[in-house]
């Protein structure tokens, strides 16, 4: 077997490949952490965190809100993107400039130039919250990547294959880490293990995750 070490330029030191199409940009969001958290607070002032119900009737342990043109929601009718916050019937808060810029820059670093997110799902995990293995498939164009920003307490992320039964690999996601995935990784199953009791100086017990998508 020939190993072409220098065929492609090596990834930058903080870019850690997970699998083909997916990469962790370690601490990519750290420099703007306080501003990002301030923006999350402002989004939540307009569209409060809420625990939504799955179509099967279970209340999610993760509290969620959204910003941007399209928000991801779940209720008895199913999973979908919609332009109105179901709590108030009003549009979602606009996507802060900083969010959009960060997501576009991270995507470009990971090799997905031209990413223009129109939706940001904001997840808030408290101790004991988790997210089961799932695929992100409510978006129109799977050619568009997803950018995921972790803030606050650490969690173990699970990255599986394209079948639910594929054994997932585990990656610890810490404050400021940004995961970008697309291409062949776009429809991989993934989830978050139970958040352990922990403390972060900027978020207390919470872990926040921002996932940026092109919904439409
Ligand atoms: C989370 N993230 O990290 C949940 N989905 O809290 C996701 O479900 C996710 O991080 C698609 C791409 C990246 C993600
Ligand atoms: Fe997901």
Distance 34 CA to ligand 2 centre (A): 24
Ligand nearest to the Cα of 212, by number: 1
- pLDDT at residue number 97: 98
pLDDT, one tens digit per residue, over 145-189 is: 999 999 999 999 999 999 999 999 999 999 999 999 999 999 999
Residue from 65, 107, 145, 190 whose mutation best tests the ligand 1 pocket (most atoms within 8 A of CB) = 190
Q: If you average pLDDT over residues 41-49, what whole number do you get?
A: 98
Residues flanking ion ligand 2, Cβ below 5 Å: 136
| Per-residue confidence band for 6, with pLDDT thresholds at 50, 70 and 90 | low
pLDDT, one tens digit per residue, over 88-108 is: 999 999 999 999 999 999 999
Distance 89 CA to ligand 2 centre (A): 25
Distance CA 63, CA 65 (A): 7
Ligand nearest to the Cα of 158, by number: 1
**Could you give the C-alpha distances from 20 to 14, 51, 115, 185, 186, in angstroms and in order?**
17, 33, 18, 6, 10
Distance 134 CA to ligand 1 centre (A): 9
Distance 190 CA to ligand 2 centre (A): 6
Distance CA 129, CA 206 (A): 10
The answer to whether the Cα torsion of 196, 201, 203, 208 is positive or negative is negative
63 lines ligand 1 (CB under 6 A): no
| CATH class assigned to 14-213 | mainly beta
Residue from 209, 210, 212, 213 whose mutation best tests the ligand 1 pocket (most atoms within 8 A of CB) = 209
- Backbone torsion region of residue 33, taken as left when φ is above 0, otherwise alpha when ψ lies between -120 and 50, otherwise beta: alpha
181 lines ligand 1 (CB under 6 A): yes
- pLDDT at residue number 7: 56
Distance CA 145, CA 143 (A): 7
Residue from 148, 171, 206 whose mutation best tests the ligand 1 pocket (most atoms within 8 A of CB) = 148
Number of residues assigned to the chain: 216
The residue nearest atom 5 of ligand 1, judged by CA position, is: 136
136 lines ligand 1 (CB under 6 A): yes
pLDDT, one tens digit per residue, over 16-27 is: 999 999 999 999
* Contact criterion met (CB below 8 Å) for 160 and 133: yes
């Amino acid at each position: 077997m020939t190993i072409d070490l220098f065929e492609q330029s090596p990834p930058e030191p903080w870019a850690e490949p997970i699998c083909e199409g997916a990469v962790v940009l370690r601490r990519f969001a750290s420099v703007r952490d306080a501003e990002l958290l301030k923006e999350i607070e402002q989004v939540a002032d307009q569209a409060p965190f809420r625990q939504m119900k799955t179509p099967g009737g279970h209340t999610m342990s993760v509290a969620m809100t959204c910003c941007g043109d399209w928000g991801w929601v779940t209720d008895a009718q199913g999973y979908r993107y919609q332009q109105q916050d179901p709590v108030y019937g009003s549009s979602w808060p606009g996507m802060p400039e900083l969010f959009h810029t960060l997501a576009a820059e991270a995507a470009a670093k990971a090799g997905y130039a031209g990413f223009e997110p129109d939706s940001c799902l904001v997840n808030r995990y408290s101790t004991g919250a988790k997210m089961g293995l799932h695929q992100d498939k409510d978006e129109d164009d799977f050619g568009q990547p997803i950018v995921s920003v972790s803030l606050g307490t650490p969690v173990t992320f699970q990255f599986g294959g394209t079948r639910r039964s594929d054994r997932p690999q585990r990656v610890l996601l810490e404050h400021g880490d940004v995961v970008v995935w697309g291409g062949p990784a776009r429809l991989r199953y993934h989830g978050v293990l139970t958040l352990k009791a922990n403390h972060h100086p900027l978020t207390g017990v919470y872990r926040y995750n921002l996932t940026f998508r092109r919904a439409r």
